[in-house]
Structure 1
Amino acid sequence: MHVALTRGTTHWEDLWKQGRIRGVATDSREVRPGDLYVAIRGRRWDGHAFIREAVARGAVCVVGEDDPSSVDIPPGVPYVQVPSSRRAASALSDRAYGFPSRRLTVVGVTGTNGKTTCVHWLTHMLRSVSLRVGMLSSVSNETGLRTVPAELTTLEAPKLHHALREMVDAGCTHAVIEVSSHGIVQHRTSDVDFDLAIFTNLTREHLDFHGSMENYAAAKARLFSGLSAEKLGAVLNRDDPYADVMAENCTAPIITYGLHSGDVRGRVVETDGWHTRLSVRLPDGEEFEGILPHPGVYNVYNLLAVVGAAHALGLPVDAIQGALSTLPSVPGRMHVIRPERGPTVVVDYAHTPDALYQLLNTARQWTRGRVWLVFGGRGERDKGKRSEMGFIAASMADEVIITTDNPYSEEPARIADEILSGARRVYGAQCDIVLDRAQAIEQAVLEASDGDVVLITGRGHESFQVIGALRLERTDEDMVREALGRRPGAGAI
């Protein structure tokens, strides 16, 4: 029987009375018997074209936006038409998995840069006081029942709510998750009951998707406007100019942080480039001092965000201070490889203009030799930032090798040329283009001297590279170690 629901008024109870719906899927290839399939019209594929495949795999009901008269669906399979498939997928997933976020204290972290580090560090801090915490980041998803590599920064709604349900089943009390602007706009997080949200910063990124910085900021701000007054609050970077946008329609308590102002105020006491001794003042006036074992001012901001969140969650100051010195390195984020002899190599995910600037600025502080940079531009993403990153690279690095990142369907040489156009704005800048990433890394590692630092940026923790139809299983770290192994006299790595 086909049921058309075109004005957003629906009676979902009819779909559940028989108890036949066991889960939700938005990818026809991942449908399991008993699933409800939601057909989503995406950038490349239209899920409505795969309804028969979904039913063949066991879907017992289909939800979509197309008119029932145009849908190719086997007789006897219910079809429900909705105004927004993505919005429906979120609500249905929440229902299918028992409204799991309502049974957890959920912290969402959003912003351009620093999300992953904040998620990992806050999870570490909460676990240090014996709380059971699930974590969803762009590196890995840890539910308490399993740990798997991440697929997206923010999972599609069915997988997100399923992961939250696994956390509940594992006895978790807290969940810390990355929230991307895509995830917000595409309703992946619309039915997650957030208790606390963190804003790190906002700089140029995803303008291919949002169109403007104003739209990008508005998307991020939806996370905070969704917090009700009785929630724990919003933790905002007071030193970022977009903090006011995040706060504008937020009715929850607001906690600010920063080095120049904020309820949580940091002060750098001293730094050797690799470690930072700092003093932190909490909103209640308490202060503590500690050593952050990770370089860069941007990591000081990440720490202050985490401290603000931990304080809002009720962690005592001694627990916060005690966890500071043990904050872990995050895969692909300032991952340092130091051979006995030869250059220091850093693998980092920096793929935005601001992240690249911050990384190069940090490297300058602890490098006595030359700074080498090997990087590229991601395909099918904001093309405008490519020349900007080329300019930053040529302005701040001594040696630049432009290579291939994940070009997807774009021509790698064209991406490299767009980066080079920005580099040429720097007088006297010389950049090599070596499209094979392994060869580019090898060239930098072999030509760099003792005391130099080689930065490999853009891919970070990623375990594969996508070039057209090719999916190459290789990490930047693996390529670095192979190159170091070919360096004469490198010694132990």
Structure 2
Amino acid sequence: MKTLAEIINFLGIESCAAAAGLVAKGLTLDSRQIQPGWIFVALSGDARHGGEFWQQAMSLGALGVLSDKPLNDCEIPVYVVADLKQRLADLAGWFYDYPSHKIKLIGVTGTNGKTSTTQYIAQMLELMGQGCGVLGTLGNGRVNALQATENTTMDSLALNGWLAQFVAEGLAFAVLEVSSHAIALGRIAGLRFECVALTQVTRDHLDFHHDLADYHATKKRLFEAFPAKYKIINLEDAVGQQIFKEQPGLVIGYSQKNQSAALFVSDICLTEQGISGRLHSNETVIDFKTSLLGRFNIENLLCASLCLVCLGFSLHRVAQATASLKPIIGRMERVDTVKFGVNVLVDYAHTPDALEQVLLSVQAHQPIGKVWLVFGCGGNRDAGKRPLMAQVASSLADQIILTNDNPRFEEPQQIIEDICQGVDLEQSSQWQVELDRKKAIESALMQAQTGDWVLVVGKGHENYQDIKGVKTPFSDQQVIKAWQQN
């Protein structure tokens, strides 16, 4: 907490008598999150200015508003800082007493694997008796008590506020999913990382970035612009290889195949029950076993394990912890059904590469029957990936039911038509179209036979469908569970 007078002095605002004696308990950009005694920070947005919501902030007990422009008719004090947006990260760190300096912060970036890797790191730390906070797509808090979040990586005020809470709780570690948006928009500016790590970088967010090169360059900035004691990269990823070459001796690699890596794996065995193999680090070789599914999860486990080894935990302790890892919701998540002999999985795969990795992983677990795939594509996002996902699906799945995802403000039929540019539905008996996602999932479950695998992808952990700006409750997992009870 800081006094309002201290905030005014820090920002160089002309002193105000009304600020005398007032203490600010928190800062937020979201007027809905205001608590009594907090300051509402109002900035220009893509469509509206945050200052339009001053009444909501006032009703919830805001002391005043920090704004990048004057707010006419506002009934609580407004303190104007023209360059407030550029100074937000400095303000956040200072207000919360630089919490990233007081906790061992691990940042994980990549297109695929961020969520799983951060969750595995947190789970293993907790299994080894270490308190760890998590900040990312599935929510914020301790790994078994996450609070929902709207963005993969929060704004700098919320981020520093959570880190300060973790410090106050006495946690030694925090692990953060770092999105490309967060890097580009300065949300992580000023943070001090103990360790940064890369999973894999493919195609995504081209609706935000100029092109693929810009997206890749943004990911690399986590390893170039942020000092970290340990920089961990995937030696099988093209961007990881670039970082390795550009920062010789400063980065540490992991790999499934490259035996010169600091951590690599051998003797991999994938079965219907999970994954087993041997971990190699320097001269140490340790057997491991996990109930997790998916060959791509081997990379996630390697990334998480190398982070922990760098942080001082023995490979033996890390390998022991992998045996107790729980699947991440919506990430190759097995959903139990009463239909004998059919494996049902839910996954978040929403890019061509992620879909390919998931389908290849299912095949690696040696299905004896068909692989059924239920998928669609999100609206108002990179449309170029839609036909690419169709091509992947056509080549790796036996039967495909095309359906709705989160159409947002696009017409679902147009999204389907975009996807179908990658295949000729009339020439293929693989494909069915059912826009109603619930009916599509149920159709796959009804048609699947003993030995088949049903894979429902695209929404993963999400518990809603976003249609015309309205988020209606919807869960792939709940649809599957309800079907089996009928």
TM > 0.5 between the two?
yes
Distance 1:96 1:402 in 2: 49
Mapping for residues 274-313 of structure 1, pairs under 5 Å: 274-282=273-281, 284-313=282-311
Q: Distance in 2 between matches of 1:269 and 1:477?
A: 29
The separation in 1 between residues aligned to 2:43 and 2:382, in whole angstroms, is 23
Report deviation, 1:433: 1.7
CA distance in structure 2 between the aligned counterparts of 1:430 and 1:368, rounded to whole angstroms: 18
String of CA shifts for 1:123-162, please: whole Å, max 9, x gaps.
1222222111111231132249963233321122222222
Does residue 479 of structure 1 match 2:479?
Answer: yes
**Equivalent pair of 1:144/1:167 in contact (CA under 8 Å):** no
SS in 1 for 2:369: coil
CA distance in 2, matches of 1:426, 1:197: 48
Letter of the structure 2 residue corresponding to residue 318 of structure 1: H
Q: Secondary structure at the match of 1:381?
A: coil
Quick one: which amino acid aligns to residue 31 of structure 1? I
Equivalent runs, 1:79-228 vs 2, <5 Å: 79-83=79-83, 85=85, 87-143=86-142, 147-228=146-227
Question: CA deviation digits over 1:198-225, x for unaligned, max 9?
Answer: 1000011101001211111122122222
1:104 is displaced (CA, Å) by 0.5
Counterparts in 2 of 1:64-463, with a 5 A limit?
64-66=67-69, 68=70, 71-72=71-72, 74=74, 77-83=77-83, 85=85, 87-143=86-142, 147-228=146-227, 231-246=228-243, 253-261=250-258, 262-272=261-271, 274-282=273-281, 284-340=282-338, 341=340, 343-365=342-364, 366-424=366-424, 428=428, 430-463=430-463
Deviation for aligned residue 1:445: 0.7
Change in 2 beyond 3 A, CA 1:351/1:332: same
Long gaps (5+) in structure 1? 1-8, 487-493
Query: How many Å separate the matches in 2 of 1:106 and 1:332?
Result: 25
Q: Distance in 1 between matches of 2:333 and 2:145?
A: 25
Cα offset, 1:28, TM superposition? 2.4
Superimposed CA distance per residue, residues 263-310 of structure 1 (whole angstroms, 9 cap, x where no aligned partner): 21222343335433222221x432222223223221111111111101
Contact 1:113 1:202 in 2 (8 A): yes
CA contact under 8 A between 1:225 and 1:249: conserved in structure 2?
no
Select the residue among 6, 26, 29 that pairs with 1:26: 29
The amino acid that maps onto 1:197 is V
Aligned to 1:489: none
Give the drift of 1:453: 1.0
The residue number in structure 1 matching 2:7 is none
Classify 1:120/1:377 alpha carbon distance in 2 versus 1 (closer, same or farther; 3 Å). Answer: same
Q: State the one-letter code of the partner of 1:461.
A: H
Q: Offset of 1:74 from its aligned partner?
A: 3.3
Q: Separation in 1 of the partners of 2:32 and 2:404?
A: 30
In the TM superposition, what is the alpha-carbon distance from 1:315 to its structure 2 partner?
A: 0.1
Q: Is the 8 A contact 1:379 1:408 kept in 2?
A: yes
The normalised TM-score by structure 1 is 0.88
Q: Is the 8 A contact 1:441 1:480 kept in 2?
A: yes
Q: Report which stretch shifted further, 338-347 or 115-124.
A: 338-347
- TM-score normalised by structure 2 residue count: 0.89
> What is the match of residue 3 of structure 2?
none
Q: 1:20 and 1:377, CA in 2 relative to 1: closer, same or farther beyond 3 A?
A: same
CA contact (8 A) 1:235 1:309 kept: yes
RMSD: 2.7
Instruction: Report deviation, 1:314.
Output: 0.2
Distance in 1 between residues matched to 2:452 and 2:77, nearest whole Å: 65
1:219-259 CA-to-partner distances (Å, cap 9, x unmatched) read: 2122222332xx42111001100014445776994111112
| Matches of 2:24 and 2:186, distance apart in 1 | 21
Specify the alignment match of 1:490 in structure 2.
none
The 1:13–1:461 alpha-carbon spacing in structure 2 relative to 1, beyond 3 Å, is farther
Percent of paired sites with the same residue: 31
Does 2:465 correspond to 1:465?
A: yes
Residues 330-362 of structure 1, C-alpha deviations (whole Å, 9 max, x = no match): 111111124342522111111111110011112
Task: Give the whole-Å Cα distance in 1 for the aligned partners of 2:143 and 2:415.
Answer: 41
Structure 1 stretch displaced more, 355-364 or 199-208: 355-364
Secondary structure of residue in 1 paired with 2:207: helix
| Matched AA of 1:450 | T
Residue pair 1:446, 1:484 contacting (<8 A) in 2 also: no
Q: Does the CA contact (< 8 Å) of 2:198 and 2:234 recur in 1? A: yes
Moved more, 273-282 or 122-131: 273-282
CA gap 1:303/1:74 in 2 versus in 1, 3 angstroms: same
Amino acid at match of 2:200: N
